[in-house]
Amino acid sequence: MKLLFFFGLFLIFLDTYAQRLKLDRSRSEARFEVKNAGIWVEGRFGIPEVVKVHFDENDLKNSYIEAEIEVGSITTDNKTRDRNLLEELYFDAAKHPTIYFKSQKIERNKDKYEVTVQLRIKYATKTFQIPLEVRTEGGKKIFTSRFTIDRLDYGVGKSSWVLGDHVKVNLIGIFTIEP
């Protein structure tokens, strides 16, 4: 399984908010799945350390999200596979140690949001839209997003009948609302 990627793309989502939010690192996650030999293989990235966020539901025009995810934080619970993913064919972590994520525009779509994001992995940068759900539960703001990307768009691995091209990404950011 060679691709496993995605990341903190979202946990990304917020160290700041119109209200002051504190990221709950123990409950937030960036998971992904990719087919390998016909079986879905799961992985995750560590929570990003570099995060810049301003998200105000009443002022989306001035809201933004920006994050850098360390490629070396990838884990698929298989050390050999994880080492392979850091090599030149896949993420090339020596030359491209971070994945960069930046919102371009955030729009409300009924009770959800559409976020136009710019994503850089290795040498490729792509712009696309992702869905975002935001809800409040018991003093917490919870941000979730599920979307699919094509690993080949970013030069992660090569076309293969064994490894799937499409990667399902599931991001959850849980934040404590501070007074």
Residue 92 has pLDDT above 80, yes or no: yes
Residues 153 and 160: their CA atoms lie apart, in Å, by: 14
pLDDT of res. 19: 60
**1 domain-assigned:** no
Residue 81 has pLDDT above 50, yes or no: yes
Residues forming a β-bridge with 174 = 142
**3 domain-assigned:** no
**Overall pTM surpassing 0.85 (yes/no):** no
- pLDDT band, very low/low/confident/very high, at 108 (cuts 50, 70, 90): very high
Alpha helices in the chain (DSSP H): 79-85
Residues 159 and 147: their CA atoms lie apart, in Å, by: 21
**91 domain-assigned:** yes
Give mean pLDDT, residues 162-170. Answer: 95
pLDDT digits (tens, 9 = 90+) for 46-67: 987 666 777 788 999 998 888 8
**107 domain-assigned:** yes
Question: Which residues touch 32 (CB under 8 Å, ≥6 apart)?
Answer: 4, 5, 6, 7, 42, 43, 44, 45, 167, 168, 169, 170
Instruction: Provide the residue range defining the domain that includes 68.
Output: 8-178
Residue 1 has pLDDT above 50, yes or no: no
The count of structural domains within the chain is 1
pLDDT of res. 5: 40
**Domain harbouring 120, CATH code:** 2.40.128.110
